[in-house]
Structures are given as structure tokens and as C-alpha cells.
Chain A
Amino acid sequence: MGRADVTGHLDLLLLAVLDEAPAHGYRVIETLRDRSGGAFDLPEGTVYPALHRLERSGLLSSSWDDSTPRRRRVYAVTRQGRRRLDGRRQEWTGFARAVQAVIAT
């Protein structure tokens, strides 16, 4: 899957990662990379604008975490974000099922 395809689904991926637990941007990027086996290795600068956009849309909330030596901005999914994630997950599952049905030999 090309990079353009991934960025089109970036919102879904970010919401899914943060739904498991609140995290800062660096951790989110690491999780995306690790869980996809390196397939989702995006330029890290593209993730923060997406996180900010999701927050402005009310799907994420964030706050500074000063408890560690290095100050970090931690993101978490809101209730509205969880609803959006559920909807997008359903859409993706349906889409993937349909594609598989067509391309299966």
C-alpha cells in the first residue's frame, strides 16, 4: 500500500491507537510502526497536524504531561472520537470484506 493510501486512513489509525490508551505523539508513531511491522512508517511531521486536526474536530483531547523529565503533549480519544472510530471501523471492515470478495481467486 502506497504512502498516499495510508495518509487517507491516518485518522482511523490514530484514533485506533489512542483508543487503547492515551499517548504522546512519539509513542503513537512508534506504535503505528511496530504494529504494522514497519508498513506504516510515515514522515513523523505528518502525524502532528493530523492529531491537531482531530483535536479541533472534538475527536481527541490533549494536555501537557509534566510528570516526566521531558515535557510531552498527551492525546486521548473523546466520547465523540470513540463514536467516530466505531463508525469508521465498520466502514473499513465492510470495505475490506467487499474488496476481498472481488479479488479472491
Chain B
Amino acid sequence: MIERYVAEVERRLRLHGRRRRRVLDELEAHLRESAAQAGEAEAVRRMGTPADVAHAFTPRLTDRLFEQRDRAAALLMLAAMAASVPLALDLHGLNDRAGRSVAAYALFLAPTVAVALASNLMVLIGRPLGARLVPPLVVLVAATAAVTLFSLPPVDGVFAGYREAVSAGHESQGCGGRALAACAADHSDEIRINFTAGAIVLTALYVWAVSGWTPAMRRRRRELA
């Protein structure tokens, strides 16, 4: 009876590979344990119908997506960092033309990028280190955002170089008929503000997805304590 039951579950089960094998082995082990106490008929009755059991192991797409939200957030952050590389190269090129170095800015950004990369990769391969790196990542992103938004060193040098290069006509795309200096100032402000806002929003999403933390949760826990 147990073999027939497990075969029926196997026929209906929408899982593959190791997970499928594991589910079937566990169910059979459970049924045999239960049968040793109460007999095969009772063991099978208590388990539920094969259709119900097989269906219970097939989660809805939305549930699967929600369960994988940490990996999705990690992929999104990696994609955003990759998408930022052309801008970084552009800034480097323009600063080079203006006779300025971006090495100090690159060194400043390096810890944030390194921690973000490490956290994303660990989350993608399912290691707890990914979540443990979230607090230092938040601190680094906050520091980087503050320095960038308020145009503090070494960020100020990078955007000064950008403005000089644009004002000298090395990069005038999007300036139309405007004075290059004003255009350069606007563009540099847009880059600073938009990318910082994007980094903050993306980091907040990553924090929620990986740790499940929200300010409301913290307030609720304090109220219940």
C-alpha cells in the first residue's frame, strides 16, 4: 500500500532532480515509521490523498518569486553596478582630459563596491555571510551618499573635473544651445543626485529583501516587548 501511495505521489509531483527524490524518500520514510505504529492503511490515511500531498509541494509562482526576493535584489544590485561602469569610465575619461585623477574617488568607493559585491555574491549562492554584510553595506552606502550629495572631498574633485571638461567642450551632448558652464553644472548635479538617490533606494530594497527588516517591524517589536 505504501509503495502504491508513493508511486501515485511521484506521478503527480511537479518537482525535479534532487528535490523530487528527497520529497519521495522523506514521505516513504515517514509512512513506514507511521505504519510501524498504526498500520499501513492508517499511515496512508493520515498523510492525505496523493493529489493533495503532491499539490502542496508545488508552490505558486508568486510564492516562489517572493521566496527568492533576496536573490532578485542581489541580481538587481549587481546589474545596477554593472550599468554604472560606462558612467564611471566616462567620468574617468573627462577628468583625464581636464588633467585630473579619479584615483582618490575610486579608492573612496572601493570598500562600498567590495562589500556590495561580496554580499550580493554570497546571497546568490545562499550563504549567511550575504545577510551579515548588510549592516556594514548600509553604513558605507550612507557615508558615500552623504559625501556625494554634499559634494565633499574626494567627490568634489571628480565633478570639478567633469565640469571643466564639459565647459571646455569635450562633452557637450545634451547641452543644446546652452552655455557650456551652466550645462556642465546642471549635468554634474543631476548625476550626483540621481545616482545617489538610486543607490539609497536600491540599498533599502536590498536590506528589506535580504533581512526582511523594515522600520515598521522595529516599532512593532518595541511595542510588543
Query: Which A residues lie at the B interface, using CB under 8 A?
Result: 24-26, 43-46, 48-49, 52-53, 56-58, 70-73, 79-80, 87, 90-91, 93-94
Q: Give the complex CA separation of A96 and B59 in angstroms.
A: 30
- With an 8 Å Cβ cutoff, the count of chain B residues facing the other chain is 28
Chain A interface helix/strand/loop/mixed: helix
Chain B interface helix/strand/loop/mixed: helix
Contact A43 B224, beta carbon cutoff 8 Å:
no
Please indicate the chain A residues that have their CB under 8 angstroms from the CB of B135 in the complex.
Answer: none
Contact B224 A94, beta carbon cutoff 8 Å:
yes
Contact B224 A58, beta carbon cutoff 8 Å:
no
Interface residues as binary, B11-51 with A (CB distance below 8 Å gives 1, 0 otherwise):
00000000000110111011011100000000000111000
Please indicate the chain A residues that have their CB under 8 angstroms from the CB of B53 in the complex.
Answer: 45, 48
Find A90's partner among B34, B48, B221 (CB 8 Å cutoff). Answer: B221
Q: Give the complex CA separation of A26 and B47 in angstroms.
A: 11
* Given A52-B23, A70-B33, A72-B29, 8 further pairs, Cβ under 8 A: A45-B47, A45-B56, A48-B30, A49-B57, A70-B32, A73-B29, A80-B128, A80-B131
